[in-house]
Structure 1
Amino acid sequence: MVKKAVIPAAGYGTRNLPITKVLPKEMFPVAGRPAIDYIVREAVEAGIEEILIIISRSKNMVMDYFDRSLELEMFLSQAEKSHLIPLLETPKVHIQFIRQSYAKGLGDAVCLAERFAGNEPFAVLLPDLLFINETANALQKTIAVYNEYKESVIGVKAVKEEDLKLYGVIKGTELAEGLYDITDIIEKPQTSPPSNLAVMGRYVFTPEIFPFLNETLPGIGNEIQLTDAIKKMLTKYEAKAQVLEMDCFDLGKNEEYMTLLNYMFKKK
């Protein structure tokens, strides 16, 4: 069973400057809650019991959000606004934090979770990709594949050909509708992508990923790429890809963030 999850939230948010100079992208408001709140709730709904959030020195706001504010609770009580206190409740899950001293890439961030994961499978959720669906849970679908095959699983989604250069892209053999046996994976292919299936920020890994992460050298952007470690892992272990057929919004793209806000507004 997958009971642990890692949320890497230490990046600089360069795609959203200048606001991310002071406001972490993970704290962007979405219908009154920060984006990372939706990510944590997705994990809890998928059965996760322990979460490790990787932050940087400038992301203390994330830690503060998941902490209790006794002063605010007392103020609301004294101001006869106790009915607002339930709004302060965060998801019921054990959350730990660790700092990434320097943003050296997603692969480096996941490396920091090795002791947290131990010998257990663990999920990774990227907090800038929000899956919104009334009846399906993106991480839950990924975990379901792990439960069947006991292999690492990557959530993917078909994207436009011109956008593939922005993502990790898999090559695979289709086993069933929406399910692939991964044969290769490439980070941000600039020419000749192996498919139209882009990695979409939901993973389940077996602990075997860590030796490959530890030996991975900086790649694109001079960062340690998680995709490069997965590519090496495929030489020794099999992995699956699950197509996530649901709406996904990338907070790093301003137009998608605005579309998400409009989507949530219409739901109210």
Structure 2
Amino acid sequence: MVKRAIIPAAGYGTRSLPITKVIPKEMFPIGVKPAIQFVVEEAIESGIEEILIVVSRTKNLIMDYFDHSLELEAFLEKKNKTHLLRKDFVPNIQLYYTRQPYAKGLGDAVRLGKSFVGNEPFAVLLPDDIILGGKKPAIKQLIEEHEIHGYSVIGLNKVDAEHLHKYGVIAGKELGNQIYNVMDIIEKPKENPPSNLAVIGRYVFTPSIFSYLELLNPQEGEEVQLTNAIKELLAKEACYGKIPDGKRFDIGSPHDYISLVNMIYQKGI
């Protein structure tokens, strides 16, 4: 069973500058909740019991949010307005935090969770991607595929050709029911992408991924790419891809972000 999850939240959010100079992208409001709360709730609804959030020194706002505000709670109680502060924003599971000292990429952020994960399979959820409307939470769908096959499973989405250069893109064999046997993966192909299947911010990994992350030795100034570790993993063991039910929104995209906010207000979530 997959009981632990890593949420990388230490990036600079350069796509959303200048607002991310002062507000972490993970804290962008979607209705009355920040983006990262949607991802934490998705993990909890999928059976995750412990979450490690990887932050930077400028992301203390995330830690403050997932904590009690004793002064505010006392004020609201005194004014008989405690109904204004939802109690479920503080998750009823164990949250851990670690800092990524330098922005060395997604692979490096995941690598920081090695001791947290131990020798067990684990999930990775990126707060950039909010996936709503599926019959089950997106990461739950990947966890179920992992339990069937016993190997790593990565989230996929069909993307128009002109946008594939922004993503990791797989080559794979369709097995039916939106499941693929992943044969290869390329990070942000500039030309001739192997398919229209782009990797999105949901993963379930076996702990062996750490051995491939530790083998990566990028040149100075380059990032540790999670995609490169997955490519190395594919040479030794099977890996599957799953297009989860639901609609994906990339909050780093102004169009997706506004569409998501409008949908949330219309549904009253």
**How high is the TM-score relative to the length of structure 1?**
0.97
Alpha-carbon distance between aligned partners in 1 of 2:49 and 2:136, rounded to the nearest angstrom? 19
Bigger mean CA offset, 115-124 vs 125-134: 125-134
Unaligned runs of 5+ in 2: none
Helix, strand or coil at the partner of 1:7: strand
Contact 1:164 1:198 in 2 (8 A): yes
Query: Which residue is equivalent to 2:267?
Result: 267
Query: Which residue is equivalent to 2:229?
Result: 229
Q: How big is each residue's C-alpha offset from its partner over 1:104-149, in whole Å with a ceiling of 9 and x where there is no partner?
A: 0000000000000000000000011000116331001000100101
Contact 1:157 1:245 in 2 (8 A): no
- CA change 1:267–1:111 in 2 (3 A) is same
Return the letter of the residue paired with 1:113: G
Note the C-alpha offset of 1:82: 2.0
Query: Which residue is equivalent to 1:64?
Result: 64
Cα-Cα RMSD: 1.4
Q: How big is each residue's C-alpha offset from its partner over 1:58-99, in whole Å with a ceiling of 9 and x where there is no partner?
A: 000000011111111111111111222435642221100000
Matches of residues 121-132 of structure 1 in structure 2 within 5 Å?
A: 121-132=121-132
Helix, strand or coil at the partner of 1:5: strand
Query: Which residue is equivalent to 2:199?
Result: 199
4+ residue segments displaced more than 6 Å: none
* Percent identical: 53
Query: Which residue is equivalent to 2:143?
Result: 143
Return the letter of the residue paired with 2:65: Y
Query: Which residue is equivalent to 2:188?
Result: 188
Unaligned runs of 5+ in 1: none
Bigger mean CA offset, 181-190 vs 129-138: 129-138
Return the letter of the residue paired with 2:178: G
Alpha-carbon distance between aligned partners in 2 of 1:75 and 1:144, rounded to the nearest angstrom? 44
Return the letter of the residue paired with 1:169: V
Return the letter of the residue paired with 2:248: C
- CA change 1:88–1:4 in 2 (3 A) is closer
Query: Which residue is equivalent to 2:34?
Result: 34
Matches of residues 1-268 of structure 1 in structure 2 within 5 Å?
A: 1-87=1-87, 89-133=89-133, 135-218=135-218, 222-268=222-268
Note the C-alpha offset of 1:217: 2.6
Bigger mean CA offset, 128-137 vs 29-38: 128-137
Return the letter of the residue paired with 2:141: K
Alpha-carbon distance between aligned partners in 2 of 1:80 and 1:42, rounded to the nearest angstrom? 31
Alpha-carbon distance between aligned partners in 1 of 2:156 and 2:204, rounded to the nearest angstrom? 12
Q: How big is each residue's C-alpha offset from its partner over 1:239-261, in whole Å with a ceiling of 9 and x where there is no partner?
A: 10011232111011111101111
Alpha-carbon distance between aligned partners in 1 of 2:104 and 2:130, rounded to the nearest angstrom? 23
Helix, strand or coil at the partner of 1:175: strand
- CA change 1:88–1:204 in 2 (3 A) is closer
Alpha-carbon distance between aligned partners in 2 of 1:223 and 1:18, rounded to the nearest angstrom? 22
| Count of aligned positions | 268
Return the letter of the residue paired with 1:81: K
Helix, strand or coil at the partner of 1:222: coil
Helix, strand or coil at the partner of 2:75: helix
